[in-house]
């Protein structure tokens, strides 16, 4: 299985901050990397697929980058509704696997 490792596990930030979180794969996954946002008690929501393609309806302050084994999700100006847990997921090979999450908190 491909292992996905996210860092940091949590971060504290303020509204308006620029925030970046990292996801690393245990082997190259090209750009088969997807990002989800999970707000407490809710189902995950797809933000970015294919490492950098913004899902329809997702605000442009979210940006994904990277290829191979190293990826990043950046929120350019943190909004109150962005406080959540963010998960990366590889779709290069089954079993699809997720990172352990990065919690963005105040």
Partner 1 sequence: QVQLQESGPGLVKPSETLSLTCTVSGGSVNTYYWSWIRQAAGKGLEWIGRIHSGGSTNYNPSLKSRVTMSVDTSNNQFSVKLTSVTAADTAMYYCAGDRTNDGWFEPWGQGTPVTVSS
* Chain residues that interact with partner 1, rule: CB under 8 A: 1, 32, 34, 36, 42-46, 49-50, 55, 87, 89-92, 94-101
Instruction: Between 16 and 95, name the residue whose CB sits nearer to partner 1.
Output: 95
Q: Cα separation of 14 and 91, whole Å?
A: 32
Least distance (Å) from partner 1 to the CB of residue 34? 4
β-partners of residue 25 are 4
Instruction: Between 13 and 58, name the residue whose CB sits nearer to partner 1.
Output: 58
Q: Cα separation of 7 and 25, whole Å?
A: 12
Q: Cα separation of 68 and 82, whole Å?
A: 27
**Phi, psi of 82, deg, nearest 5:** -90, -5
Instruction: Between 83 and 92, name the residue whose CB sits nearer to partner 1.
Output: 92
Instruction: Between 18 and 105, name the residue whose CB sits nearer to partner 1.
Output: 105
Least distance (Å) from partner 1 to the CB of residue 43? 4
| CA 76 from centroid of its chain's CA atoms | 13
Least distance (Å) from partner 1 to the CB of residue 17? 25
């Amino acid at each position: 299985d491909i292992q996905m490792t996210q860092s940091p596990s949590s971060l504290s930030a303020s509204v308006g901050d620029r925030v970046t979180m990292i996801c690393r794969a245990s082997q190259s996954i090209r750009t088969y990397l997807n990002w989800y946002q999970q707000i407490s008690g809710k189902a995950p929501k797809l933000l970015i697929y294919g490492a950098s393609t913004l899902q329809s309806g997702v605000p442009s302050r979210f940006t994904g980058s990277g290829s191979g084994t190293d990826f990043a999700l950046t929120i350019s100006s943190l909004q109150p509704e962005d406080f959540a847990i963010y998960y990366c997921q590889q779709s290069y090979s089954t079993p699809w696997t997720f990172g352990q999450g990065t919690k963005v908190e105040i």
